[in-house]
């Protein structure tokens, strides 16, 4: 038999539509199943936000919401009811229209994206300019003649330069590598994917309750005259029809679109934003996402897994209050506990854990714990502002280093460093004997918070790991509310680069989330309230400028910005004794 005979034989067998499969966990390993595909498109029914495209053997529902989120469901699946979204938040975009497309296909055109459906059932997610972000091939079903739940598979293609991030990994990091990742059963959405590529960023949230798997394979760009190999994701499940949500834009924009239909994560109460043990049930807001793959044992592996889970939950729109667990474990060495405490100072909730046995009686160890606790208390106003912002927008406090610059390919390759809000880049120590020797910074100017030395981003810079602190860099122009030596709130401002501005925010006693901006004016750094029209007045709280010696520009002697405080506001004062504070809002 030559190659042509083999092709004809395979085609003849496929034409029968009967396959024998061995599905894991099934008792009748040789059960006969019949394969089904959508077939050709036979018509469409426009509706609010999109409509239904009908095929010979299936139907596809496409809905675009006012927030820009897209729902795709086969075989009669509707956006609601769903364990993931809130029905009252799913509002169809009246401007989105279902219209005929090329070659017998259809498309839904909206303000932020275009969804094109081919005549065979392939679904393409494109930017308004027509740039392809994702292509879902027509799904395939395997149905048993005697009835019962059907199996299904759906393959997707992304750009050759695309990288997958999100839930479903082994706990070793945020990036989802090649291989098979399990999808737990129940009302969960793992693995959620945030896909970064030069063409743009998009979020994919599978919406189902059945267990399954997803196989990922990163693409590769051809060298010279070679061809690009697109990245691929193959989803397999059983039971209900394939259905999922998508959102496009910057990472923050995509999360905001998803939060607009799923709701924002719960804000950690002020009582657990501070320093404590396990934090209690209130410190662990409910999420709709199953547990990240946990690392076995205690020590460094558990610490890395906790940070990976926290970051992954954040990029999937289910930002947790803090790292999972209450510490590395009783058997972990003292070095692990010290690095855990230092890391906790920069996490949304600081869970100290029990600590190594007898650590209170060891002066050197107790002093390292005190330094970490002091840094945590100093940053409490900043943590409160980040929690309030997450409750409004769904944007997490702990963010990947590529969050604001997803087009920087050097930042997509992973690493342990993370952003705390927009102000700080933290380099955790997750191994014995010190941390990394260098870290790649996002674009812009950055300052080493320990030395004040300035660095230019979009490049790798050396880091020095000391025993009493983690390497932390501050973004030029960042305005950070902190607790001063007297316990009152003051502004810590990192000098913006000449000709540039910066920003920050703080939660006021009334629950209002106020935004301020920093800039150079007449040789000094000033901080002003941000108003819709015109420049606001200078803030009247103490302002301490840092980073001037790192090249920020001329400043008054002593590093003072010249602002004379007339009053001091403490956003934590009225809520320190309560279980939480009123839901914050932006001041208009």
Report, as an integer, the average pLDDT of 256-270.
Answer: 78
Which pLDDT value is given to residue 433?
77
DSSP β-ladder status, 543-546 and 489-494: parallel
Q: Report residue 70: phi and psi, to 5°.
A: -120, 130
pLDDT band, residue 446 (cuts 50/70/90)? very high
Report, as an integer, the average pLDDT of 547-559.
Answer: 44
The proportion of the chain whose per-residue pLDDT surpasses 90, expressed as a percent, equals: 40
Residue with tokens 């969960």: 188
Residues in CB range of 212: below 8 A, 6 or more apart: 182, 183, 235, 236, 237, 238
Angstrom distance (rounded) from CA 205 to CA 216: 15
According to DSSP, residue 175 is labeled B
Which pLDDT value is given to residue 394?
85
Angstrom distance (rounded) from CA 303 to CA 430: 7
**Computed from CA positions of residues 426, 432, 436, 437, in that sequence, does the dihedral angle turn out positive or negative?**
positive
Which pLDDT value is given to residue 232?
96
Which pLDDT value is given to residue 275?
42
CA distances from 498 to 253, 444, 446, 535 (A): 29, 12, 13, 19
- Tokens representing 134 are 């994702």
495-513 residue pLDDT tens: 999 889 999 988 876 667 8
pLDDT band, residue 320 (cuts 50/70/90)? low
545 vs 324: which has the higher pLDDT? 545
Which pLDDT value is given to residue 379?
93
332-347 residue pLDDT tens: 788 888 898 899 899 8
Which pLDDT value is given to residue 149?
80
pLDDT band, residue 128 (cuts 50/70/90)? confident
539 vs 362: which has the higher pLDDT? 362
Report, as an integer, the average pLDDT of 27-56.
Answer: 87
Which pLDDT value is given to residue 313?
82
Angstrom distance (rounded) from CA 438 to CA 434: 12
Which pLDDT value is given to residue 6?
42
148 vs 40: which has the higher pLDDT? 40
**pLDDT above 50 for 524:** yes
Most confident of 277-281, 286-290, 397-401: 397-401
Q: If you write DSSP's letter for every residue of 194-262 in order, what string do you get?
A: EEEETTEEEEEEE--SS-EEEEEE--BPPPTTPPPB-EEEEEEEESSPPEEEEEESSHHHHHHHHHHHH
Q: Which of 21-25, 30-34, 52-56, 355-359 has the lowest mean pLDDT?
A: 21-25
DSSP β-ladder status, 445-448 and 418-420: unpaired
Please name which of 60, 41, 37 lies closest in space to residue 152, comparing C-alpha atoms: 37
Which pLDDT value is given to residue 566?
25
Report, as an integer, the average pLDDT of 415-428.
Answer: 93
Which pLDDT value is given to residue 277?
38
**pLDDT above 50 for 159:** yes
**pLDDT above 80 for 533:** no
**pLDDT above 90 for 37:** yes
Which pLDDT value is given to residue 365?
84
The mean predicted confidence, pLDDT, of the chain is: 78
The proportion of the chain whose per-residue pLDDT surpasses 70, expressed as a percent, equals: 74
pTM, whole model, 2 decimals? Answer: 0.81
pLDDT band, residue 436 (cuts 50/70/90)? confident
91-100 residue pLDDT tens: 999 999 999 9
Report, as an integer, the average pLDDT of 306-323.
Answer: 75
């Amino acid at each position: 038999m030559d190659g042509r005979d083999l092709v004809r034989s395979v085609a003849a067998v496929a034409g029968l539509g009967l396959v024998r499969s061995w599905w894991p966990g099934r008792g009748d390993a040789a059960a006969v199943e019949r394969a089904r595909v959508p077939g050709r498109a036979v018509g469409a029914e426009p509706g609010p936000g999109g409509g239904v495209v009908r095929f010979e053997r299936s139907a596809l529902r496409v809905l675009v919401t006012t927030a820009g989120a897209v729902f795709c469901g086969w075989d009669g699946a509707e956006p609601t009811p769903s364990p993931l979204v809130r029905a009252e938040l799913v509002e169809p975009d009246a401007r989105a229209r279902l219209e005929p497309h090329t070659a017998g296909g259809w498309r839904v055109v909206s303000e932020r994206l275009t969804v094109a459906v081919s005549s065979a059932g392939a679904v393409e997610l494109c930017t308004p300019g027509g740039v392809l972000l994702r292509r879902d091939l027509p799904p395939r079903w395997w149905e048993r003649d005697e009835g019962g739940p059907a199996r299904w598979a759906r393959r997707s293609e992304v750009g050759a330069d695309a990288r997958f991030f999100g839930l479903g990994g082994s706990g070793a990091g945020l990036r989802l590598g090649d291989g098979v990742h399990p999808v737990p059963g129940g009302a969960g959405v793992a693995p959620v994917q945030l896909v970064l590529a030069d063409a743009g960023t998009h979020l994919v949230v599978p919406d189902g309750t059945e267990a399954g798997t997803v196989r990922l394979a990163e693409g590769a760009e051809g060298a010279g005259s070679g061809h690009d190999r697109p990245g691929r994701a193959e989803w397999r499940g059983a039971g209900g029809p394939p259905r999922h949500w998508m959102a496009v834009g910057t990472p923050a924009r995509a999360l905001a679109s998803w939060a607009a239909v799923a709701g924002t994560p719960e804000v950690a109460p002020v009582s657990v934003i501070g320093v404590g043990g396990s934090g209690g049930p209130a410190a662990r807001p409910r999420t709709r996402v199953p547990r990240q793959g946990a690392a076995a044992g205690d020590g460094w592996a558990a610490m890395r897994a906790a940070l990976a889970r926290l970051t992954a939950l954040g990029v999937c729109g289910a930002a947790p209050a803090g790292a999972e667990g209450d510490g590395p474990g009783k058997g972990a060495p003292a070095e692990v506990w010290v690095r855990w405490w230092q890391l906790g100072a920069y996490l949304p909730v600081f869970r100290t854990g029990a600590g190594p046995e007898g650590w209170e009686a060891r002066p050197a160890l107790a002093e390292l714990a005190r330094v970490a606790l002091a840094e945590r208390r100093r940053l409490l106003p900043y943590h409160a502002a980040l929690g309030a912002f997450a409750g409004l927008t769904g944007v997490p406090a702990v963010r990947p280093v590529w969050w604001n610059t997803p087009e920087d390919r050097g930042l997509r390759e992973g690493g342990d460093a993370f952003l705390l809000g927009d102000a700080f880049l933290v380099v955790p120590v997750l191994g014995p004997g010190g941390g990394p020797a260098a870290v790649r910074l996002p674009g812009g100017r950055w300052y080493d918070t320990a030395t004040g030395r300035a660095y230019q981003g979009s490049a790798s810079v050396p880091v020095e790991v000391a025993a009493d602190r983690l390497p932390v860099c501050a973004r030029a122009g960042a305005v950070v509310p902190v607790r001063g030596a007297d316990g009152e709130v003051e502004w810590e401002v990192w000098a913006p680069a000449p000709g540039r501005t910066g920003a920050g925010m703080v939660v006021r006693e009334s629950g209002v989330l106020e935004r301020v901006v920093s800039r150079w004016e007449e040789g000094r750094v000033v901080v002003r309230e941000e108003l819709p029209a015109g420049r606001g007045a200078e803030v009247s709280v103490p302002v301490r400028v840092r980073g001037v010696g790192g090249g920020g520009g001329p400043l008054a002697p002593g590093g003072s910005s010249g602002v004379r405080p007339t009053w001091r506001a403490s956003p934590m004062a009225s809520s320190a004794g309560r279980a939480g504070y009123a839901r914050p809002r932006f001041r208009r």
